[in-house]
A = this chain, B = another copy of it.
Amino acid sequence: MGRWEPNARGRLERAALELYVEHGFEQTTVAKITERAGLTERTFFRHFADKREVLFAGSGAMQELCVAAVAAAPDSATPLDMVAAALDAASARWEERGETVRKRQTVIDANAELRERELIKLAALSTALADAMRQRGVAELTARLTAETGIVVLKVAFERWIGDPGQRSLPQLIKECLNALGTMTGSR
């Protein structure tokens, strides 16, 4: 990033999200994004491979955060505790970036290709979580199912968070989902 373009990446991301929300993802060009951000297309392509990548560039870092949380869980942690630690780490980060994350989700929900891409990213996260659990000694099938259950919790908590802004925080909603999961095998 050159010194002529302070926070170019953040400006591009903000401009892109605004335009995706205002005009739709399909209708927005890289030219329009750079115009609004007051930057050149060359700068855009130094930060992102294409306009879709603006929405998914953060997935890798989020996955690393989750995997690190599983690796750092205490030895006494159950598989579900490990996933809970991962979700807790990720959701604290999302909560900080609240408005951006909400906008991003609105854009993705409105576009089939983006939804498919999001599912692929979530599947990769699930695989990474399962691998991290196996490295902690969790059996193959349990690791797989616990990771997938974690993704379910994330999905349901996220929906409630997006649908109910300003009420409970994402970490709180995730905690509620994990508690509800605990009653799955209990009497009603």
| B-binding residues in A (CB < 8 A) | 76, 78-80, 112, 115-116, 119, 136-139, 141-142, 144-146, 148-149, 152-153, 155-156, 176-177, 180-188
Contact of A183 among B79, B115, B119, B180 (CB under 8 A): B79
CA distance A80 to B142 in the complex (A): 16
Known: A145-B177, A176-B141, A177-B141. A184 touches B152 (CB 8 A): no
Q: How far is the CB of A186 from chain B (nearest CB, A)?
A: 6
Contact of A142 among B141, B148, B180 (CB under 8 A): B180
A–B pairs, 24, beta carbons within 8 Å: A78-B185, A78-B186, A78-B187, A79-B184, A115-B116, A119-B119, A136-B188, A139-B183, A141-B156, A141-B177, A142-B180, A142-B181, A144-B156, A145-B152, A145-B156, A145-B180, A145-B181, A146-B184, A148-B155, A148-B156, A149-B149, A149-B184, A152-B152, A182-B185
